[in-house]
Amino acid sequence: METLHETCAWGTGKRWGEAHTETGMSRLTLSDADKEARDWFVETVEGLGCRVTVDAIGNVFAVRPGRSEGAATFAGSHLDTQPTGGRYDGILGIMAGVEMLRVLHENEIETEFPVGVVNWTNEEGARFPYSMMGSGVWAEALPLERAYSLRSVAGDNVTLKSELERIGYLGKVPASHRSVPMGAHFELHIEQGPILEAERRKIGVVQGVQAYKWFTIEVEGRDAHTGTTPLANRSDALLLASKLMVHGNRVATKHSALVSTGILTLSPGSTNTMPGSVRFSLDIRAPQNATVEEVEARLRQDFADLASGKDIGGLHEGGTLGKSEFSVSWRTDSETTATVFHEDCIRCVREAAADVLGAGSDGMVRDVVSGAGHDSVYASRVCPTTMIFVPCRDGVSHNPAEYTSPEDCAIGAEVLMHSVLKYDALRQS
């Protein structure tokens, strides 16, 4: 916990409580703060007897040799955060990995195969809009050149590649699992949801991850003067976008899915000009691929209908539709099908949790499905993978007040190390 809080000096965010450590984090990927955290990571793991490899997308792999040659069994997560994130999402997984290396090093424990810790680049997708990017490129799910060319959402004209160069993390090793193979990938993470806490569980054994798709929706209407344009003569792109977002929530409700918007920009942006152009992000998620597809198909049809003036759910009722000369276009930004984790890894986590929690562990452990995407989604495409969840207060995440107690962090870190050691033993056998 000391290490976690000390390293949160790089990119400290909004304060939410009185104590020294009660602030959030704002450590956007490849920022100066991210560079400092990465430099600390490299220096620390080298001090623990690891060899460090940086690949062409900036993923940092620390490997501690075993008795035999071979791909390492990895613990992995990410050091970058949301712009208003907390101290645990991603960070906890890296800190627990470093703690594992410390325990192995200080106790001179030999493993059969190498053991490693990986810090993946740009998991959050907050600054460069593609989440789980580093693991995605490594798994060959995302072409390197496409990742390189992504521009910062801040509109400051920097690309992912130029920022990698600037902070000194544009590595020479090809960004691929073929160059840096893994024996397995275990990720400790906060749940970011309310279930474990509500049921007073300590460990979630993650079975897989729900499917999701990210889109950018662009609504084009017509700029017009707010004072002189009668309601009947308007094609107000923001009013239509508002109806689309309300409708998205209704369709999500009906399908037991999640539909959310986190980014909205408009043009031109003046109090007395109705925006002719609005762009917003649309994030559709559900445990089943088929549900995501159904929601997408429903919304594509309904958005077009609402734009053309057809009423759905009374959204146009009571208001003035105006000229309703709109176009609505969809761009797919990112897509992940539902993920099923590896049974061997899952078994190792279950056994490790039983060992760590001792008698009565049954009531403290449960299987869960992850609501969020994680680097383990891409890792699982090329090597045995699973995740370990620990509870977080009120299920709050992507928020400065994100919090997991030191006790729960410690349990998670112990389960992570024992899972890795069990898997190493399994490989040996």
Identify whether the C-beta of residue 424 lies closer than 8 Å to the C-beta of residue 111.
Answer: yes
Distance CA 388, CA 390 (A): 7
Can you tell me which of 48, 52, 141, 153 binds a copy of itself, judged by CB under 8 A? Answer: 153
Can you tell me which of 111, 121, 399, 419 binds a copy of itself, judged by CB under 8 A? Answer: 399
Per-residue interface string for the shown chain with a copy of itself, residues 368-397, x marking contact by CB under 8 A = --xxxx---------------------xxx
Query: Which C-beta is closer to a copy of itself: that of 1 or that of 264?
Result: 264
CB of 153 to a copy of itself, least distance (A): 7
Query: Which C-beta is closer to a copy of itself: that of 136 or that of 275?
Result: 275
Distance CA 60, CA 404 (A): 26
Residue 236, interface with a copy of itself (CB under 8 A)? yes
Contact range with a copy of itself by CB under 8 A, out of 42-50, 79-87, 137-145, 289-297 = 79-87
Q: Is the dihedral of CA 422, 382, 4, 174 positive or negative?
A: positive
Nearest to 112 by CA among 182, 64, 180: 64
Task: Tell me how many residues contact a copy of itself (CB under 8 A).
Answer: 77
Which positions ≥6 away from 243 have C-beta within 8 Å? Answer: 306, 315, 316
Helices (H), ranges, 70-202: 91-106, 133-138, 144-149, 160-167, 195-198
Residue 318, interface with a copy of itself (CB under 8 A)? yes
Which run of H or of E encompasses 361?
Answer: none
Per-residue interface string for the shown chain with a copy of itself, residues 351-370, x marking contact by CB under 8 A = -------------------x
- Pull the structure tokens for residue 174: 């090809």
What is the number of other CB atoms lying within 10 angstroms of the CB of residue 19?
9
CB of 91 to a copy of itself, least distance (A): 15
Nearest to 220 by CA among 311, 293, 374, 329: 329
Which positions ≥6 away from 158 have C-beta within 8 Å? Answer: 151, 152, 166
Query: Which C-beta is closer to a copy of itself: that of 177 or that of 222?
Result: 222
Sort strands 273-274 and 60-64 into parallel, antiparallel or unpaired.
unpaired
Can you tell me which of 155, 314, 358, 360 binds a copy of itself, judged by CB under 8 A? Answer: 314
CB of 315 to a copy of itself, least distance (A): 7
Can you tell me which of 168, 181, 268, 309 binds a copy of itself, judged by CB under 8 A? Answer: 268
The Cα angle at residue 313 between residues 309 and 319, in degrees rounded to 5: 55
Using left for φ > 0, alpha for ψ between -120 and 50, and beta otherwise, residue 411 falls in alpha
- Window 157-186: residues binding a copy of itself (CB under 8 A): none
Can you tell me which of 23, 111, 131, 339 binds a copy of itself, judged by CB under 8 A? Answer: 131
- Window 271-290: residues binding a copy of itself (CB under 8 A): 271-276, 281, 283, 285
CB of 362 to a copy of itself, least distance (A): 25
Can you tell me which of 162, 176, 207, 242 binds a copy of itself, judged by CB under 8 A? Answer: 242
Residue 261, interface with a copy of itself (CB under 8 A)? yes
Can you tell me which of 309, 319, 363, 406 binds a copy of itself, judged by CB under 8 A? Answer: 319
Query: Which C-beta is closer to a copy of itself: that of 250 or that of 300?
Result: 250
- Window 190-229: residues binding a copy of itself (CB under 8 A): 191-194, 210, 212, 214, 222-229
Nearest to 269 by CA among 280, 260, 278: 278
Can you tell me which of 262, 309, 363, 406 binds a copy of itself, judged by CB under 8 A? Answer: 262
- Window 7-66: residues binding a copy of itself (CB under 8 A): none
- Give 203-235 as a DSSP string: EEEEEEE-EEEEEEEEEE---EETTTS-GGG--
Which run of H or of E encompasses 349?
Answer: helix 343-357
The DSSP code for 320 is: -
CB of 382 to a copy of itself, least distance (A): 22
